[in-house]
Copies of this chain bind each other. A is one copy, B any other.
Amino acid sequence: MSFSGLQTLVEALRALPGIGPKSAQRIAYHLLQSDRIGALRLGKALVYAAEQMKNCTRCNTFTEVGICETCLDPDRDATLLCIVETPVDQNRVEQTLTFKGFYFVLMGHLSPLDGVGPDEIYFEQLIRRATDGVVKEVVLATSFTNEGEATAYYLTQVLKSRGLEVSRLARGVPVGAELEYVDPETIARAVLDRRVL
């Protein structure tokens, strides 16, 4: 009875990915014993985010307002739309300073075995966004995993059939890599995709 607030917390901590019952208990004790301020701050941040965060109506990333900052940036090239799996991936592309267009965040990738079909990656919303009449080229920046590649393949078919130019991040030998340690598949792809200088 008097233990219930703690038990509730231990069980609620299981919502965190990869946290089993033992870790949950250890974390709960740690927070209560040594970091009440951190626990309170985290609790409030979770409640706020869970209640307030929406998906941007244009690019689908997380935002507290209707349209995110990036989508409202007037200095971007509206003819370019880069498709990424997650907001983290968007940040990775953005940090390279090589892309000056807009984004669309799928929040995942196609994975039929896990029940993730087109609906789960916001397919209809993506099509509406890509066919706004201004976008000319869609840059596919999904991961080079099996799922990311399958997603890119699927989107390529659909977007091309709608008259859009579709491109994909180049594959090849990573910058700085010693060829000796690069896997044969990557080298094969780099040979096939070699650039004429």
Interfacial residues, chain A to chain B (CB-CB below 8 A):
1-6, 8-9, 11-13, 15-17, 25-33, 35-53, 62-65, 68-69, 86-88, 107-108
Q: Which residues of the other chain, B, contact A33 by a CB distance below 8 angstroms?
A: 107-108
Given known pairs A15-B31, A50-B31, A62-B6, the reply for A26 and B107 (CB within 8 Å) is no
Q: State how many copies of this chain the complex holds.
A: 2
Q: How far is the CA of A62 from the CA of B3 in the complex (A)?
A: 8
Cβ-closest chain B residue relative to A41:
B12
Are B2 and A63 interface neighbours, CB within 8 A? yes
Q: How far is the CA of A11 from the CA of B49 in the complex (A)?
A: 12
Q: How far is the CA of A63 from the CA of B4 in the complex (A)?
A: 9
Given known pairs A27-B17, A62-B32, A88-B25, the reply for A3 and B43 (CB within 8 Å) is no
